[in-house]
């Protein structure tokens, strides 16, 4: 462990579950890198993702955005192509873009597609899928309302999905946001996850919460305190 990380970890009491207010302030204070660190949330859920009826997946527009520019690619034709460009899409196309991606081009962060374009986009599954870039109707990225989809992605919409271990990982902003904006973003994310609680999930749904910065130590948050908020 580096001297810098050891010093930062010494500020976090081992085993303690902090209140959300304390925890957010501590994570922001220990983000000491020379760049604007991303603040990440890890939420452990009482679900078994191996069962289809306990898969938790969705999206949410964070009230304070993500603090970074998002390059949006839209697969669309005709009027929808024009709508996407007017909404701020960085790239719009159809078969021409498909061929470009097959050749190795990946200069984009998020992908939106109109339903009629999914036949072409589906051919890119082995390229986009592993990178988490495949459009999906469950999170609003396969839609004819491309203008809304683009605007939401530009505004800081994040997608989340529970992993095999039952944990949802998601960014909730930048260290430069300050504690209050990070807290607001986190609560928006958690609210979206709570609304997606599977009916088959028994017992405690939110079992653990931790926040961390890119280069800083993890800070455990008391789920009971968050529940009261």
The domain locations on the chain are: 13-66+157-228, 72-154
pTM: 0.82
What are 148's two structure tokens? 């809304």
Fold of 72-154: Rossmann fold (3.40.50)
Return d(Cα 117, Cα 94) in angstroms, integer.
7
Per-residue pLDDT tens digits for 17-58 = 999 999 999 999 888 888 999 999 999 999 999 999 999 999
Mean pLDDT of 98-123: 94
19 near 225, Cβ under 8 Å? yes
CB atoms within 10 A of CB 144: 14
Quick one: which H or E segment has residue 74?
strand 72-75
Per-residue pLDDT tens digits for 59-103 = 999 999 999 889 999 999 999 999 999 999 999 999 999 999 999
pLDDT at 1 over 70: no
DSSP string, 156-198: TEEEEE--TTSEEEEEEEEGGG-HHHHHHHHHHHHHHHHHT--
Under DSSP, the state recorded for 37 is: P
For the chain, give the mean pLDDT.
Answer: 92
| Total number of residues shown for the chain | 229
User: The CATH number of 13-66+157-228 is which of 3.30.460.10, 2.40.440.10, 3.30.190.20, 3.20.20.70?
Assistant: 3.30.190.20
Per-residue pLDDT tens digits for 142-177 = 999 999 999 999 998 998 999 999 999 999 999 999
């Amino acid at each position: 462990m580096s001297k810098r990380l050891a010093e930062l970890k010494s500020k976090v009491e081992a085993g303690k579950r902090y209140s959300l207010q304390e925890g957010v302030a501590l994570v922001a204070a220990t983000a000491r890198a020379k760049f604007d660190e991303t603040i990440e949330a890890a939420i452990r859920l009482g679900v078994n993702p191996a069962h289809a009826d306990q898969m938790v997946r969705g999206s949410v527009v964070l009230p304070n955005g993500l603090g970074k520019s998002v390059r949006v690619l839209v697969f669309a034709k005709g009027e929808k192509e024009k709508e996407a460009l007017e909404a701020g899409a960085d790239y719009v196309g159809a078969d021409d873009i498909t061929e470009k991606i097959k050749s190795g081009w990946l200069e984009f962060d998020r992908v939106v597609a109109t339903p009629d374009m999914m036949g072409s986009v589906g051919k890119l599954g082995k390229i986009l899928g592993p990178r988490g870039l495949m459009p999906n109707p469950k999170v609003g990225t396969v839609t004819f309302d491309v203008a809304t989809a683009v605007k939401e992605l530009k505004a800081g919409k994040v997608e989340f999905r529970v992993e095999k271990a039952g944990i949802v990982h998601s960014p909730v902003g930048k260290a430069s946001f300050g504690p209050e904006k990070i807290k607001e973003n986190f609560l928006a994310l958690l609210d979206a996850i709570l609304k997606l609680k599977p009916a088959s999930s028994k017992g405690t749904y939110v079992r653990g919460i931790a926040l961390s910065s890119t280069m800083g130590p993890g800070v455990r948050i008391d789920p009971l305190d968050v529940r009261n908020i």
